[in-house]
Structure 1
Amino acid sequence: MLFPADLLAFLPALLLGALMGFFGGLFGIGGGIIAIPLLVLGYGMDQALAQGTALVMMVPNLLVGWWRYSRLYPVPLPRALGIGLCATATTWLVAQVAIGLPSALLRTVFSVFLMLLAWRLLWQLRARQRAAAQGRPDEATPRVPERYIPLVGMVGGSSMGLLGIGGGLVATPILTGVFAQRQTVAQSLSLALVAPSSIIALLSYAQAHRVDWHMGLPLAASGMLTVSAGVALAHRLPEQRMRTLFAWMLLVTGGWLLLGLLWH
């Protein structure tokens, strides 16, 4: 039986889950990239426990987001299956190698990588704005044939295997910058990549007893209620605004992770 004090203890988790669900739907990610530092810094969890607990929230958020994005921005089924299979296999393989690597080193490298990606996206956006101001057409042509899109799953899966997060954050800029996909279509493909990978990752953490279900289940329950609202907002926002918001989210997240390391 739950007492009022118990309900109050769950309230922060419910609010956090709702916030992460909304941003997960907006940017086509699971929300763990923001939730994990909060669980480490705010709840005193070690890195592995925070990642396993965040995955409880991420799995349903990603599945709901994938379903909503696939209805609004459908992609060919073979392409979605290809990128998902590549990501799942790579997640499992890289996770076996990453077990013995220092967590702080991985987080530092990943944080810097996110910030470099953000800088590159913002630079591209400024270049497009200058081209538009000068009356030059926006040359958004793919530099790599689209048949190679499933290989992006290997890049996103590597991130999931190393840190349990970040597959969509890494894959989306590649899909927009290298394959010239629209931002929302790229996020739909990223969800096809990350959703199955997150299930594999959660099973691995659960087998190692690195999941706090009492925290993770409230996060998941409230997050599922707000994912659709995030997807709906993404559908209404202009393409340029979506790319700008995504780039700034990468930059802030990378800085947040570096600050988390400094505080420990």
Structure 2
Amino acid sequence: MDPSQLILLAVLGVCGGALSGLVGVGGGIVFVPALLYVAGWNITEAVAASLAIIVFSSLSGTIRNARSENPVQWRTAVLLSLAVAPSTLIGVAISRISPDAVVELAFAALLLALAYPTAKGRSEGVGGGKRIPVALVLSAGVGIGALSGLVGVGGGVLMVPLMVLGMGLTTKTAVSTSLAVVLSAGAVGALGYILVGAVDLTELPPLIVGAIVGAWLGVRLRDPLPERALRLGFAGFMVVTAVYTAIGAL
């Protein structure tokens, strides 16, 4: 790896990590295309490596959240992790036997479906007026875990609106909590790919270091932002992610 590529991967790691801390995702939407188009890896290698990097970026953000104005709600994090993390192995299994274009399109459609209610938002307070039954949220968590394992993203883009609409969290608390769930999902998914020999860790250090630095930066930037601005920005991010995913699948 030449120095220019090393620097570029580090910069992409910072961008992905900052996205992780700011909106509660693992940064896979940056890491996967970075490894595909910069490092020249195939999709399976990129997805596997992305999940490994997500472990570090989400861990960094979760540690930083301990001092955040909107810390992790651990009861919700543990509950969702029990549904999401083991399900990433479903995605790992699917990736080994079939193409993922159909699943990616379904993922994009779900993002678009959740973008409007996320933008509309709810009360700043926690609790009251739940729109989605918790059982349905947990069932959706199984699907999110499978998608995470298949396409190499942590699933925060789906978990944040589900926690806001189904578990009564404010957007910022959901973002913090999402990082803890993404951590568990990334760890299980990465382990699954490692066990089947689909990931090479030797080229990951610049992305990992960048992701750790970026995640701390993203969490720090998030606290002063108004709730409404973050909500609208996150909804826009979901739409962009959906379009990108659909184009990639097609």
**Shorter-chain TM-score: what band?**
0.7 to 0.9
- Cα distance in 2 for residues equivalent to 1:79 and 1:147: 13
Q: Which one has the largest radius of gyration?
A: 1
Percent of aligned pairs sharing the same letter: 28
Hey, which bits of structure 1, 4+ residues long, moved more than 6 A? 145-149
| Aligned: 1:228 with 2:228 | no
- Cα distance in 2 for residues equivalent to 1:155 and 1:236: 33
| Aligned: 1:69 with 2:65 | yes
| 1:99 CA drift (Å) | 3.5
Paired position in structure 1 for 2:81: 84
| Aligned: 1:158 with 2:146 | yes
Deviates more, 1:146-155 or 1:24-33: 146-155
Deviates more, 1:150-159 or 1:57-66: 150-159
Q: Residues 94-141 of structure 1, C-alpha deviation per residue, up to 9 Å, x if partnerless?
A: 54355323222222222232233224434x25xx8xxxxxxxxxx972
Q: Is the 8 A contact 1:157 1:194 kept in 2?
A: no
Deviates more, 1:49-58 or 1:160-169: 160-169
Secondary structure of residue in 1 paired with 2:6 = helix
Secondary structure of residue in 1 paired with 2:97 = coil
Secondary structure of residue in 2 paired with 1:236 = coil
- Cα distance in 2 for residues equivalent to 1:150 and 1:64: 25
TM-score w.r.t. the length of structure 1 is 0.81
Unaligned runs of 5+ in 1: 129-138
Paired position in structure 2 for 1:253: 241
Q: Is the 8 A contact 1:83 1:152 kept in 2?
A: no
| 1:81 CA drift (Å) | 2.1
Q: Residues 58-91 of structure 1, C-alpha deviation per residue, up to 9 Å, x if partnerless?
A: 1100111122224423345443322222222222
| Aligned: 1:172 with 2:168 | no
TM-score w.r.t. the length of structure 2 is 0.85
Unaligned runs of 5+ in 2: none
Q: Is the 8 A contact 2:44 2:95 kept in 1?
A: no
Q: Which amino acid aligns with 1:64?
A: S
Q: Is the 8 A contact 2:91 2:149 kept in 1?
A: yes
Q: Is the 8 A contact 2:133 2:166 kept in 1?
A: no
Q: Residues 221-247 of structure 1, C-alpha deviation per residue, up to 9 Å, x if partnerless?
A: 111112111001111101000111111
Q: Residues 190-235 of structure 1, C-alpha deviation per residue, up to 9 Å, x if partnerless?
A: 1222111101111122223322424322100111112111001111
